Structure 1
Amino acid sequence: VAAIAGGIALLGDGGDGDGGGGNARSGPAPSSSAPRDGGDPAPGVPTPDSPSDGPSAQPSYDPDTAPDPVNGISLPVLSGWQAGRSSSGGAGVTTSRYPCPGDPSTDCVRGGAFSRTADGYKATSAKGIAEEDIAQNAEESYGQDENTDRKAYGGITSHKQLKESAVDVAGEKGYLVRWKVVTKKGDDGIVQSVAFPSPTVPDTMVVVRFGFDVSDEAPPLSDMDKIVKGIEALAGDGRSV
């Protein structure tokens, strides 16, 4: 699925970053938006692959979860959402697609969440990683894609922090930071970065990026909390613990 979620442009293969909202990209960090003709997805959050890409695209996991075997977790698939993979091999869940306001040739999504391994951060704690990731999440989801210079929402003009707090994720002590971003074109967005230790993979920190449009057509903000609460440890057989 090449689409942008709540300011997240979905990406195809190749992006190692995943944005949370607006542009939904594949993988933990977002990249550029994917052309609607089937090219690479748009900038922003990582874009999950479509479950119908082939028999091997999705293992025989619980249909109500999106598995991330790399990080040993699964994301819940809420009603009205679709499961997939991020370009980095993590899990992704998104809602409906629509033409990006800043680049109609690219699809965006109204809401999205993507998991990734927390590599490349100066910080090592859950709090430090979440605080360090949120600006990158916002830029990749609703700002300018650093790989393609595409601006699915025309770029970000300002942001405001809405929430910052400790949170329990899959039995681990995590931390979340949530911003509202103001875009130049189309809807504004809500982005959130949640960092926590993997419950099953030793010495591994995980980041889940969220991005929701501020729109009546976007999922309610309460879905962010439901997804965080629904993250579970993934056992070796691919089933949630």
Structure 2
Amino acid sequence: MTPPAGWYRDPSAPHLERWWDGTAWSEHRRSPETVPLPLVVPAARRPARARAVALAAAGSVLAAAIVTGAVLLHDGGGGGDRGDGVTRTAPGGPAATDTATAPAPAAPAAPPDSSGPSDASVVVDQLNGITLPLPTGWEAPRDISQDDVVMTTHGVYDCPAGRGLCRHGLVSTLTPASSDGARPESLARNDIADAADAAYGRNAAGDTPYDGITAHQDVAAGPVAVAGRAGYFVRRRVRTAKGPGGYVESLAFSSSTGVEAPVVVRFVLDAGPDGPPLADIDRITKGIRPIGATGADGGVGSSIGPSSD
């Protein structure tokens, strides 16, 4: 379901109207004969721990917001939760072939503003105020029940213990429920055991897709700058009863938005030839930015800004 074709206020030039062909913005624009209707799409409501994660693209249209607008048009209001915590975007489609006679709807459920990150290889965590890069082989999550997951590797495989489907890589973001002013080092060290157990021990559904953890070893730890903030990471090698096991990392730092609440990013990468390279953890960490920051802001090796830790 998409909004009907028609003239709407141009997100990039509000003094003009732009033709929406029913699936995407066209390149047709005109001066409005009357004051154009604003583009209004209400925000969807999500569970407390859900993340609003957007896969952004240049000149994109948010698909989830389009669905919400269509519900408003046909059902008279509401809005709803997709269930996977993801808002995706799609690039603009071909131009409409006939724009001169197309009528403007009286009460349009218009596509959203196309502003925001223009890099198609970036996901947005609105709750924590950060963006994360998508390396090659990774994508925004789809068909996954974990609200905190912000990206996964492509595809799934049968879990080694024969129960359910597994993925070779996951990245999730968490806001600690109670940090009490804890430093990033404490947060990362306290989180790593839970992160490892959730990934390779007993999952949220109570299953053991790898028949449990048999051994583990912390292979790296230390301070790091993340999005211009002081952070700390702990990386653990996990061995499992079945399958090659993998690597789990807990990365903690303070958000640069709001009250600067702490953020924990969890990385889960399968070991063995089918798992993604460990270097992807560093690539993602280096590319974390505050929402709205330029490409040079933040990241590993940048100056560390003031922090509450």
TM-score, normalised relative to structure 2: 0.56
CA drift at 1:114: 1.2
CA drift at 1:125: 0.8
Aligned amino acid, residue 55 of structure 1: A
Change (3 A) 1:183 1:209: same
- Aligned-pair identity in percent equals 34
Q: Deviations over 1:96-115 (max 9, x none)?
A: 321111244x2211112111
Q: Which residue of 1 aligns with 2:184?
A: 126
Change (3 A) 1:75 1:143: same
Aligned equivalent of 1:196, options 245, 250, 253 = 253
Change (3 A) 1:230 1:87: farther
Q: Deviations over 1:47-101 (max 9, x none)?
A: x8999x9533325643211100100001111112102388676561111321111
Q: Does the CA-based 8 Å contact 1:115-1:207 persist in structure 2?
A: yes
Question: 160-169 or 114-123: which moved more?
Answer: 114-123
SS of corresponding position for 1:141: helix
Q: Does the CA-based 8 Å contact 1:68-1:89 persist in structure 2?
A: no
Q: Which residue of 2 aligns with 1:63?
A: 120
Distance 1:226 1:194 in 2: 13
Aligned equivalent of 1:102, options 161, 171, 177 = 161
Q: How many residues end up aligned between the 2 structures?
A: 195
Structure possessing the higher radius of gyration over alpha carbons: 2
Aligned equivalent of 1:140, options 182, 187, 198 = 198
Q: Which residue of 1 aligns with 2:13?
A: none
SS of corresponding position for 1:55: helix
TM-score, normalised relative to structure 1: 0.71
SS of corresponding position for 2:137: coil
Matched, 1:186 2:243: yes
Distance 1:49 1:185 in 2: 35
Distance 2:179 2:200 in 1: 21
Counterparts of 1:34-73 in structure 2, within 5 Å, are 55-56=64-65, 57-58=87-88, 61=117, 62-73=119-130
Q: Which residue of 2 aligns with 1:206?
A: 263
Distance 2:224 2:234 in 1: 10
CA drift at 1:203: 3.1
Q: Does the CA-based 8 Å contact 2:179-2:262 persist in structure 1?
A: no
Aligned amino acid, residue 230 of structure 1: G
Q: Does the CA-based 8 Å contact 1:111-1:212 persist in structure 2?
A: yes
SS of corresponding position for 2:199: helix
Q: Deviations over 1:162-197 (max 9, x none)?
A: 011000100000000000011011121100000000
Aligned amino acid, residue 161 of structure 2: G
Which ranges in structure 1 are unaligned for 5 or more consecutive residues? 1-12, 17-25, 28-47
Aligned amino acid, residue 233 of structure 1: P
